[in-house]
Each structure stands twice: as C-alpha cells, then as structure tokens.
Amino acid sequence: MKFAFNLWSIFTLEEVTYYDSVQQQQLKDRIKLFLEQLESWRDIANHQSISTLIWQIYMDTNYLTYVHGSICWTTTCLEFTCLV
C-alpha cells in the first residue's frame, strides 16, 4: 500500500513553522526593546543637555567598553569623556 504523502515532510514543515515563529517573536522583542530605548533617548534629548544624552547612549550601548578594547583606547577614551 502506497501513501499519497511523505510522513517526514509533514514533520519538517511543522519544525520550520515553529522555528520561524520563534525567530519572529525574538525579532519582535528586539525591535520593541530598540524602540523603547529610542524613545528614552528622545525624551532625554528633549529635556536634558546633549552631554547627558551622549553619556546615556554610551552607557546603554556599552560603547565605552567597546572603545576600551581597541588598540589606542587611552587616547580615544579620554576624547570621549572630554566630549561629555
């Protein structure tokens, strides 16, 4: 007796669908977090000084930690802190 469909293709489709939905949910969460962060920076930009905004962006993105990892981090870090 022959079946008209392949049983393994059904399982593969379900796994792909589940994986896609998990990826979509993760992407949705990351976009939501980014938009919330952007809104926070927008509020700071509207109500506080530019130096406060720059410093907050540095802290939220861990950019100074990234700069510390570069080759000439002492000069670059001093430049960033002097900017703020």
Does residue 3 or residue 19 have the better pLDDT? 19
Rounded to an integer, the average pLDDT of 62-68 is 79
Q: What is the pLDDT of residue 13?
A: 46
Q: Residue type at 37?
A: Q
Higher pLDDT among residues 76 and 38, named by residue: 38
Helix (H, G, I), strand (E, B) or coil at 69: coil
pLDDT per residue as tens digits for the range 9-55: 554 444 556 667 888 888 888 999 999 999 999 999 999 999 999 99
At 43 the pLDDT is: 95
Q: How many degrees, rounded to 5, is the angle at CA 27 between CA 30 and CA 17?
A: 155
**CA geometry: angle at 56 spanning 50 and 29, to 5°?**
125
